[in-house]
Structure 1
Amino acid sequence: MTNLVAVDAHGRVVGWACLGPFRGNGTSTASGELYALYVQPSLIGSGIGRTLLEAVHAHAHADGFGLMLLWVLTDNTRARRFYEQAGYTADGAVQSDDYDGASVPEVRYRRAL
């Protein structure tokens, strides 16, 4: 697992991404997964997320991954648009987790590196 941290000019953390091998079934061992990508809410749209995602791709490629996958909440249109603009496409896989009785549906995206 690799953690990437974005800091501002004052050394404060403003973003974080985590990646590693894909944790699911049905793909080759050369598949990586973006486990998480967060940007301080007041800085969304500033390019930090895009920069972190580019770093994720560089690290994944260096680790030998030829494909990146990620899960995003079905109703998170902002995140889905962000990943689509970065070249990801929904591949038809869906999953839903249950948290305290609430179903949280997700859709899987993929992008070749």
Structure 2
Amino acid sequence: MVHVREMDEADIEAVSTIRVRGWQAAYAGIVPQTYLDAMTVEGDAGQRRQWFSQPGRKSRDLVELGDRGPVGWISFGPYRGEMPGLERVGEVYALYISPDLIGQGIGRTLLGEAHAQMKGQGFETSALWVLCDNQRARRFYERAGYQAGEGAQDEVYDGITLRELRYQRVL
């Protein structure tokens, strides 16, 4: 049975584990291994606690629960940039699933719930950023109705510059 709910502070350790292991699995061979190896659950959890307790934060965080707690996490909210010609744009900031559970529909469920909530908040479009070389994620989002737009940006990881593409879809 699938159960998606709002993330709470008690979920931080589990979400940080999902995020760190998700990064290490999804970005192996894309992001420098030194960067991935330096990621720790403890460090991520500390940052997440600070971020989670910020007053007035506009993001929403959902978790999907398995038998022993969270198995997936999505964070979304208002778009953090500008998209000329579009108003009321939401953004998926992050979506990570326990690597051993990828392919079981957890990401699809979380993304669908995020889309429903964004639409309920008045957003008309959803955008997100994907590393150009992350073919698996690109295929996932394309199956969910996203298309690569004109936006692109570069991110630097341990001195290596990687290109991100902006994807978007109508809600």
Residues 39-48 or 20-29, more deviating:
20-29
8 Å contact kept, 1:70–1:110 = yes
| C-alpha RMSD of the superposition | 1.0
Per-residue CA shift, 1:45-78, capped at 9, x if unaligned? Answer: 0000000000110110011100000000100110
Matched with 2:170 is 112
- Structure 2 CA distance for aligned equivalents of residues 81 and 48 of structure 1: 15
User: Letter of the aligned partner of 1:66 in structure 2?
Assistant: E
How many residues align? The count is 112
Matching of residues 1-113 of structure 1 within 5 Å: 1-10=59-68, 12-27=69-84, 28-113=86-171
- Structure 2 CA distance for aligned equivalents of residues 20 and 5 of structure 1: 15
* TM-score, reference length from structure 1: 0.94
Q: CA deviation at 1:25?
A: 1.6
Following TM superposition, the consecutive aligned residue runs of length 4 or more in structure 1 with deviations greater than 6 angstroms are none
What SS does structure 1 have at the residue aligned with 2:122? coil
- Structure 2 CA distance for aligned equivalents of residues 79 and 50 of structure 1: 12
What SS does structure 2 have at the residue aligned with 1:25? coil
8 Å contact kept, 1:4–1:18 = yes
* TM-score, reference length from structure 2: 0.63
What SS does structure 2 have at the residue aligned with 1:24? coil
Higher strand share: 1
User: Letter of the aligned partner of 1:99 in structure 2?
Assistant: Y
Aligned-pair identity (%)? 50
What SS does structure 2 have at the residue aligned with 1:53? helix
Per-residue CA shift, 1:61-113, capped at 9, x if unaligned? Answer: 01110000000010011000000000000012111011221112110100001
